[in-house]
A and B are shown apart, each in its own frame.
Chain A
Amino acid sequence: MAEKKLMKGNEAFATSAIHAGCRYYFGYPITPQNEVPEFMSRELAKAGGYFIQAESELGAINMAYGAAAAGGRVLLSTSSPGIALMQENLSLLSSVELPIVLVSVMRGGPGIGSIQPGQADYNQATKGGGNGDYHTIVFAPASIQEAVDMIYKGFDVADEYRNPVMVCADGMIGQMMEPVVLPPEKAPLAEEEIGNVKPWALTGHKEKRERNAINSVWLQQELLEEYIEQYWPKYVKAENELQDWEAINVENCETLFVAYGSVSRVVKEAMADLEKEGHNVGLIRLKTLWPFPHKAFELIGDNCKNVICCELSMGQMMKDVEAEVKGKYPVHLINRVGGMLLDPVEVVERTKKILEVK
């Protein structure tokens, strides 16, 4: 096994992308993800890649559009307000089926907000702000290792589904340090291979094939409908195949927690304390936010009396959980917002309060 290195989240995200064969990065500074562009500006050229500091997040994602259209593997990274600026182009990339990987290091919002960790971009990531019928595939890591693995795999998923993939980290995961084993280094596709692996890419027809075009404008609505219906099955496939979660004691527990990202680690410590006091607790940790892991909720057993959502938002994830449990159990919220964090003591105390009221 490769030696473990102690890495900061943002450095590790960038390194993982390079190991996945990414050779294009376009970025614009925003805390708490600045180490990603900083690292890429220094390291990507050494791997034979291209770093460009864009004039804004809009510029960055448009550059990504170009590099992806030419068949390259592209990484983008930003934080919450930056994703807001990129939404138009997430719709645009989806409309022309271009694969990119985008890391969102979430901070406190709304608006400019704060630079401390947040999860109030759950809706932004999963429901999107772009127009039209599309989805962004969204992974949610709870550790730096998991983020590294999700970014690495994310490039394959983006290519397979020809769709943007977002990895939703939060400020804590971006800024903290953890031991990491990096995945093996993959070479990017050689220029002459791109046309074989990505036959849609704009590689130059050299008068040997029909001209490729990547175009989002449809002046005939009949053709646009046909086009949407032709690509839509991939989202159905993604819903079936990509759902991912971690389940702890879901079948037997009386009190089920639902959480994702760094908050799930707070919940795990709180669960250990609650167990010591005799509570029967379980956890569904979402590893994909879209597709939402519906299958995890089918595991809930007859003992379940309460579902408690822990998140750093006013209950954005909770709305999906409520839809999922369909009124079978009361759904509660333990949250902090604005860049404030939950800690295990607070989760334990608020859980006991919820259970007392019952």
Chain B
Amino acid sequence: MKRITIITGHYGSGKTEVSVNLAMDRKKEYDKVAILDLDIMNPYFRSRERQKMMEDLGIMVQFNSFGFDITEDLPALSAALKTPLENKEYQAIVDVGGDNDGARVLNQFRKYFLDGDSEMLFVANRNRPETPDVAGCMGHINAIQAETGLKMDGIINNTHLLSESTAEDIIRGYKMCKDLSKESGLPIKFTTCREDLLDDLKAANEKEGIDDMVIYPIKLYMRPSWLG
């Protein structure tokens, strides 16, 4: 993966959960890791809600300029967001708000994304009403590219139904992402899978004859246990 990974997608596709997982995992390999929460769309379930968990591990968490107030609905971004983008010692995960509307915020940081040091990935969840097929996903990919002037570099299959997910869901999403990959020319970077479903998914892949799935085990950091 590149030094800067920008996570985009239709809203509700699971960008924040993927971003927090990537930041947590990258910290295992790199000393300086930052997560940039650029979500100015949602008032809830943003990566900044896990600020303490990540900062305790030494991950830099950047979001708005009102750092004391993680829950307010303020689209004000901190100038300190630029630190991990400018300082090449940092690995940066950029967690963007949903749709092209949420991606618009990338424009002000565009110059940092042009030197080949970064990649922009599209998170796809086949179970979301607007992205059940190639056409739905292409619509969002094109809109995000047009909004930001940045080229998409890959697809993340993040098909799930939360606690009701099955290996079959993930495989259905994978097949759609395969078609999407063919249509868009973008590679599938990886397929996420909740840790407790890994064995199911491996068995189901074997049964289906799928041998090229890159599986990325994922923990649910954002969802409280009582929501199931």
Contact = CB atoms under 8 A, between A and B. Distances in A.
Are both chains from one complex?
yes
B125 interface: yes
Contacts of A8: 11-12
A269 interface: yes
Interface string A263-281: 0011011000000000000
Interface in B176-228: 223-228
Indicate the member of A115, A177, A262 with the most B CB atoms within 10 Å: A177
Contact of A6 (B12, B71, B72, B223): B12
A4 B127 contact: yes
Contacts of B161: 4, 6, 179
B109 interface: no
Q: Could you say which interface size class chain A belongs to?
A: 20 to 34
Nearest to A114: B71
A177 B12 contact: yes
A262 B44 CA distance: 15
Q: Could you say which interface size class chain B belongs to?
A: 20 to 34
A269 B45 contact: no
Contact of A179 (B45, B72, B164): B164
Contact of B225 (A6, A31, A176, A344): A344
Contacts of B72: 115
A11 B129 CA distance: 10
Interface of A is mostly: mixed
Interface in A175-198: 175-179
A202 interface: no
A176 B226 contact: no
Contacts of A255: none
B226 A6 contact: no
B162 interface: yes
Contacts of A246: none
A325 interface: no
A343 B72 CA distance: 21
Contact of B73 (A115, A265, A266, A269): A115
Nearest to B165: A179
A7 interface: yes
Interface of B: 11-12, 42-45, 71-73, 125, 127-129, 160-162, 164, 223-228
Given A116-B71, A179-B162, A265-B228, 12 more contacts: A6-B12, A6-B128, A7-B12, A8-B12, A15-B129, A115-B43, A172-B44, A175-B42, A176-B45, A177-B12, A177-B162, A269-B225
